[in-house]
A = this chain, B = another copy of it.
C-alpha cells in the first residue's frame, strides 16, 4: 500500500458508493422488485402507487426519476388527455433486481439471526 495512495476503493465516485446510493434508497429496490415480480416489468404510475403500500406519490415519482437517470427503468409518456405514464424495467434494472433478490433470499434464510438486530433496535421501554 503506497503512502499517499487512497488505499481503499471508497473514493466517492467508486462503484461501491454508487451501488450503495441506489440500494440504500428506501424505495428503489422495492419498486424494482415489484416491477419485476408482480408487474411483468412494466406498469403505470397509479398501479405502482397501489402496489407499494406506504409510498407517497412524491417518493414514487422522485425515485422513479432517479431510476430512469440510472438507466434502471424507461419512462414513457403518452400525450393523452388524462396523462398516462408507464415505467419499464431495462435489462440493467432486471439484472439489478436479480442481485437484490439474492440479498433478500439471504435475509430470509437468516431471518432468525437478523432478528437480533430488530430486537435491539426495538427496545425503547
Out of B21, B22, B102, B118, which one reaches A13, CB within 8 Å? Answer: B118
Q: How many copies does the complex hold?
A: 2
Set of chain B residues within 8 Å of A34, measured between Cβ atoms: 8
Number of interface residues of A (CB under 8 A): 48
11 A-B residue pairs with Cβ-Cβ distance under 8 Å, sorted by A, are A8-B52, A15-B111, A19-B104, A20-B26, A66-B120, A69-B116, A69-B119, A70-B114, A70-B116, A92-B110, A99-B103
A78 at the interface (CB under 8 A from B): no
Set of chain B residues within 8 Å of A116, measured between Cβ atoms: 69-71
What's the Cα separation between A13 and B18 when bound, in Å?
Answer: 26
> Is the beta-carbon distance between A108 and B8 smaller than 8 angstroms?
no
